[in-house]
Structures are given as C-alpha cells and as structure tokens.
Amino acid sequence: MVDDSSCEELMLRSDSVSWPQGRTRDLNKGSYGAVYPVKVHGFTCIAKRLHDVLQDAGPADEGVVTVSEKFMQECKILSTLHHPNIVQFMGIHRAKDSAHPRDVSLIMEGLYIDLEQFLENHNQAKDTVPLFLKLSFLLDTSHALVYLHMHRPPIIHRDVKAANVLLARDMHAKLADLGTSKLLAFNPLSSTKLTNCPGTLGIMPPEALQPSPAYNTKLDVFSYGTLILHTLNQEFPLPCEVGKARRRGEFQITKRQAAMDMLSSKHRQLHEMTRKCLQDNPEKRPDMKYVRDELDRLSLQHPCNFTTFYDMYRETEKLKRELKAVELWSSRMQRLQTENGLLQAEIKQTGDELRLAETQAAVFKDDFDSERRDRERAAGEYDSDKRRLEAEKEELRKELQFEKATRIRLQNEIQQMRERDRERPKSRSAKTTMGSRSATLPTRKRTVSEGSRAPGTGWGRSAAES
C-alpha cells in the first residue's frame, strides 16, 4: 500500500501539475501502468501512474511486496538520487478529481526518446549511429551505474537495458526506471539473497536465474555488457534458448556468440571489455568503475562533437518534418486530383444531361409551336364561323321583322274589313253586295297567299259570316 505519511514530503501541489487532454494520450503502456505527458510549472514532464486495479494490490503470501509498494520504493529511491545521468525526480502528484483514494503518479523530467527506439529508428532508416555517439551513450550510462553502486547504501538497478536509457534533446543519456532497483548492504560486492530474475530475462546473469539467487552489483555489470552489444551492433543480443541453455550449462557468451562476432568485426577495442562483462562467474566480471574508465579512455580516441552532431540532427529532424509536410502535401494533391477527376466526370455528365435537356426543350418547343398554330387556326375558323352565324342571324332577324310587319299589316287590313262589314246596313241588296264580294274574294285570297298569313285569320269563318 502507499504510505501517505512517508511520502507526504514528496507530494507536489495539485494545482502545479496539468494533465493535457484529460489523461487520454499515453506515451507508453505496460503491465503495471502507463506514462503520460504532463506540465509541471509550465515545463514538460512525464507522469508514471499505476493501473487502478494494482493500486489496491496486496501480498499473496508472507514476504511478497505489492506492486504499489514497489512503486513507492521507486519514488523514495529517486528522491534521494541527484546525478546528471539519472532521470530527475520531480515529486509525487495525487489526483484531486480521482475516485481512487491512492491514485498517485510519479513525476519525472520529460526526455526526448529512449535508446531502444532511437536505435530502431536508425535501423528503419538504414542508418548507422556514429561511434562517438554510441560511446557517449554508454559512458553516460556507466556514470549513472557507478553513482548507484557507490551510493550509501549501494543500489542495484537490476534492469539495465536500452529501453531504460532515455536521451535528452542534446543527446545526453540518462538512466531511468528504478522500479526494480534494490538497496543492498553497505558492501556493494557482498552477495544477498534476492528476487529470482527481477528484470528482463534476456539480460539476466546466471546467478539471477537460480531458484534461490544471491547477487550483488555485478548483476548490473552483466546487463551492461548486453547493453554494449545492443548499442554498438544496433541489435538486441537475444540469447539462444535461455532456459534450455542454462540446464545444459552453456556459457552466456556462447549464447550471444553471433553478437560477439559482430562486435569483434566492427569494434575490436570493445570486444575484450564486453567479454569480461558477460562472464558467468560474477567474481571475474569487472566493476563499473573499471568499465567507466575504459570507456572514458576509448572516448578520447573518438572525440564527441555534440554541437556538430546536434546541429546535424536538428537539420535532419527539420528535413524529416519538411519531408513529412511534402508527403502530406502530395497526399492532398493526389486527393485533389482524384476529386478533380470526379468533378470533371460530373461536369461531363452534367453537360450530357444539359444537351439532352436542350434536345428535349427543342422538341417541346416544336410541339408547342405546332399546338399554337393549331390553336390559331382553330381560332380563325371559330371567328369565321362566328361572323357567318352573325350574318345569318342578321338575315333571319330582318326576315322576322319583315314577316312581323307583313302580319301587322294584314291584321290591320282584316280589322278594317271587319269594321267596314259591321258598318254596312243590312238591306235587301245584300245578295247583290254578296255577289260582288264573292266576285272580289278570289282576288283578295291570292293577295294574302303571296305573303305570310297571320295566325288566327280564317277565311272560312269570314265567308260563313258573310
């Protein structure tokens, strides 16, 4: 468990640490926790935080140290170390908004990249890191290990590998990740019974692979030998069948013979020192002071011009950024060309549709003009028929007026004849008069039949009356 009372002095103020993007962007993630970028008083740092499920982890049986206690052990060890080649410890931060009561993070200075990724990047680019720079990385790491081994009490790192060597932007190396470190008795060369295989299996010496191991600072010397092979060859010296080889009693150098041969062909001066570091017997291995002095002597033969290299490295990084920008621009241009091709196809399709629409419009116009002419012709025929009917109507009206006038005239004549008939006296001369009227009647009858006879005029009744 995390002891609040023992780490209170290591706590940073909660308002001095800012977590960008709500802790959603992790830089690295492992089995026990993750690393996040943070800002401490405006400076870029990194925060190492355990997974929530491990915050409450307890010992499985007696003597087992929980992951949370190892985490706090790393914090306490780092708080006592002050060396330019060891990652600077900033403090511990407790999250105010966390629901977990022991949600704490280890805050360290932010560095550029780890050595393993740096070598991998150069391998992908088929580029060889300059020897003076490799020696500088190894020398810086050796300074850090000497400092740990000479500490009171001595400290074994127990996981010296390229992934735990961080590089600053000025290409100076710093040792990190002391989560597996162990405090020893005051004698750094006295062997102590400790954890079996505490670090990465591929860099462990034979004494750390025993069921009940007992080792000292010479464990870091062996791991440092594998770091020399990894750095100079730019390839991890993976041992051949570690478990089976240990049972067969093979030497660790034999398991890494391919890496040793590669080192002998490229850097013969470092071959003997590396061979001494990889001895199975820890007593035959040199201490880190000897290794540091040897590297210091070799580095004088290959002077390190950090200014020139750093300028060259910054120019390379700038060119990489420009190349990335060009690639991005090229990608955008390809996308624009694709969009342009699609647009041209759409324009062509729109042109075809426009021409089809114009053809249909022309056909529609012809149909409309034909229909308009038919309507105009029908309207002309209608006007002609209308005028003809009006003329016939006028003629019929005139005939009707003439017939009406004739009927009125005949009615008047009949009325006058009736009045004359009533006014004639009845006398004996009626027969004579009747005879004379009878003689005149045929003439009148012919006169009336020439025109239109008025309705209601009957000659029969007049004759009877006569």
> Per residue in 348-363, pLDDT tens?
999 999 999 999 999 9
Contacts of 136 (CB under 8 A, 6+ apart): 171, 172, 173, 299, 304, 306
**What DSSP character marks residue 440?**
H
**pLDDT score, position 317:** 74
What one-letter code names the amino acid at 278? L
Mean pLDDT, rounded, of the chain: 78
Q: Quick check: 247 pLDDT over 50?
A: no
Highest mean pLDDT among 6-15, 383-392, 426-435: 383-392
Q: From CA 231, how far away is CA 448, in angstroms rounded?
A: 150
Kindly compute the dihedral angle of the four CA atoms of residues 431, 432, 437, 439, in this order, to the nearest 10 degrees.
110
Q: Quick check: 121 pLDDT over 80?
A: yes
pLDDT above 90 coverage of the chain, percent: 34
- Return the higher-pLDDT residue of 419 and 464: 419
**pLDDT score, position 464:** 43
Q: Quick check: 458 pLDDT over 50?
A: no
Q: From CA 114, how far away is CA 125, in angstroms rounded?
A: 17
Highest mean pLDDT among 60-69, 187-196, 256-265: 256-265
- pLDDT band for position 29 (50/70/90)? low
- pLDDT band for position 303 (50/70/90)? confident
Q: Quick check: 242 pLDDT over 50?
A: no
- Return the higher-pLDDT residue of 169 and 15: 169
**What DSSP character marks residue 206?**
G
Q: Quick check: 456 pLDDT over 60?
A: no
- pLDDT band for position 166 (50/70/90)? very high
| Average pLDDT, integer, range 406-414 | 92
Least confident of 71-85, 111-125, 179-193: 179-193
Q: From CA 336, how far away is CA 85, in angstroms rounded?
A: 50
**pLDDT score, position 364:** 93
Contact 141, 208 (CB under 8 A): no
| Average pLDDT, integer, range 94-121 | 78
φ, ψ of residue 326 to 5 degrees: the values are: -65, -40
**pLDDT score, position 97:** 63
- Return the higher-pLDDT residue of 211 and 305: 211
Helices (H), 114-239: 115-124, 131-149, 218-233
**What DSSP character marks residue 167?**
E
H or E segment and range at residue 173 = strand 173-175
| Average pLDDT, integer, range 22-48 | 71
- Return the higher-pLDDT residue of 318 and 16: 318
Locate 304 and state its tokens.
């390190």
Q: b/e per residue, 370-394, with b = 16+ CB within 10 A?
A: eeeeeeeeeeeeeeeeeeeeeeeee
Contact 223, 163 (CB under 8 A): no
Contact 126, 81 (CB under 8 A): no
- Return the higher-pLDDT residue of 139 and 42: 139
Q: Domain segments of the chain: what residues?
A: 1-110, 111-304
Q: Quick check: 230 pLDDT over 60?
A: yes
CATH architecture of 111-304: Orthogonal Bundle (1.10)
- pLDDT band for position 199 (50/70/90)? low
Q: Quick check: 221 pLDDT over 80?
A: yes
Q: Quick check: 290 pLDDT over 90?
A: yes
- pLDDT band for position 375 (50/70/90)? very high
Q: Among candidates 55, 126, 145, 133, which has minimal Cα distance to 94?
A: 55
**pLDDT score, position 306:** 59
**pLDDT score, position 382:** 92
Q: Write down the number of H helices and E strands in the chain.
A: 13, 13
Q: Quick check: 445 pLDDT over 50?
A: no
**pLDDT score, position 249:** 44
Kindly compute the dihedral angle of the four CA atoms of residues 366, 370, 375, 378, in this order, to the nearest 10 degrees.
180
Select from 1.10.3720.10, 3.30.200.20, 2.60.40.1760, 3.90.1570.10 the CATH code of 1-110.
3.30.200.20
**pLDDT score, position 152:** 85
Q: From CA 320, how far away is CA 124, in angstroms rounded?
A: 14
Answer whether 1-110 and 111-304 agree in fold: no
Peptide bond into 130 cis (omega under 30): no
Q: From CA 108, how far away is CA 105, in angstroms rounded?
A: 10
- Residues 276, 277, 278, CA angle at the centre, nearest 5°? 90
Task: Report pTM.
Answer: 0.60
Helices (H), 131-249: 131-149, 218-233, 242-248
